[in-house]
Amino acid sequence: MLRAVATATTGLSHIDIEACRERNVKIVSLRGAHDLLDGITATSELALALMVALARSIIPAVQDVRKGVWNRDAFKGRQLNGQTLGIVGLGRLGRRMAAYGQTIGMTVVATDPSISNDQPFVKMLDLEELAQVSDVIALFASYEPGCGPILTREIISLMRDHALIVNTARGELVDELAIADAIKGGGLGGYGADVLSDEQNIADLENHPLIALSQTGYNVVITPHIGGATHDAMSRVETYIVDRLIAHLDATRPANQNRSTQKSL
């Protein structure tokens, strides 16, 4: 009999929560593990890397050099100092990204109706205003299954034509087709993502509209959900999850099973 499902994640969109609830199956996750997660910086660091990669055309520049080409004028980018970084979701990762932006000289604005801002250098705005003033928008919001995107086609239409979007949260938080259309039409400067909508069920990745753009010279960078995939981060969270799972199983083991186990020892 299944007693628990363990996942070394905070998001649970990949788990049928209702089915677990109906069957009294415990979900063991990283939710609420604040002391542990405060020291896990991998995802926010990747968001920073994606932002820099987009702003400076790093990926195509590297690919050009690998082909034996040396042409600096083909890859003039934008410096981030003096630009405005908009954070959507000012939780643990959003606050860290805000600090990164402030450190490199960006003006930082944010939107998050569920969190009070404790960073004096961050100005809180509503989503529409944030979209209009930001040179870069970074997404760190949570996603609940069944909810629509935060960055809709209408919100994307408000953004500056050179603006960049960075998404290391969930693909479902954005209208991916609207982003692809905006980039092709010159209404958006680029998109960097570590996630895609319904990414586990995409049958043909090469024909995904955003990946197709990245293959044809547009400023799109997609990584395969590697945000938390560092040796140190994964070791820490997996050890934590195993310890929690063992504690749950021990606490819920039938009394007679505990006694028989003790006798066998």
State pLDDT tens for residues 111-161.
Answer: 998 887 888 999 999 999 999 999 999 999 988 878 899 999 999 999 999
Interatomic CA distance for residues 43 and 229, integer angstroms: 8
Chain mean pLDDT for the chain? 92
Of the candidates 191, 190, 132, 184, the one whose C-alpha atom is nearest the C-alpha of residue 157 is 132
259 pLDDT above the threshold of 70: no
Phi, psi of 4 (to 5 degrees): -155, 150
Is 140 in contact with 87 (CB distance < 8 Å)? yes
2 domain-assigned: no
Quick: pLDDT tens for 3-18: 999 998 887 878 899 9
261 domain-assigned: no
The per-residue pLDDT for 256 is: 60
Q: Where are the beta strands (DSSP E) in 72-219?
A: 84-88, 107-111, 122-124, 136-139, 164-167, 190-193
Which domain range does residue 93 map to? Answer: 42-222
28 domain-assigned: no
175 domain-assigned: yes
Q: What's the pTM value of the predicted model, to 2 decimals?
A: 0.89
Choose the catalytic residue: 170, 172, 176, 208: 170
17 domain-assigned: no
Query: Structural domain tally of the chain?
Result: 1
Is 225 tagged catalytic? yes
130 domain-assigned: yes
Of the candidates 28, 54, 47, 36, the one whose C-alpha atom is nearest the C-alpha of residue 93 is 47
Choose the catalytic residue: 225, 236, 244, 248: 225
Is 170 tagged catalytic? yes
Quick: pLDDT tens for 158-217: 999 999 999 999 999 999 999 999 999 999 999 999 999 999 888 888 889 999 999 999
The per-residue pLDDT for 258 is: 55
15 domain-assigned: no
Which CATH number fits the domain that encloses residue 214?
3.40.50.720
Is 145 in contact with 13 (CB distance < 8 Å)? yes
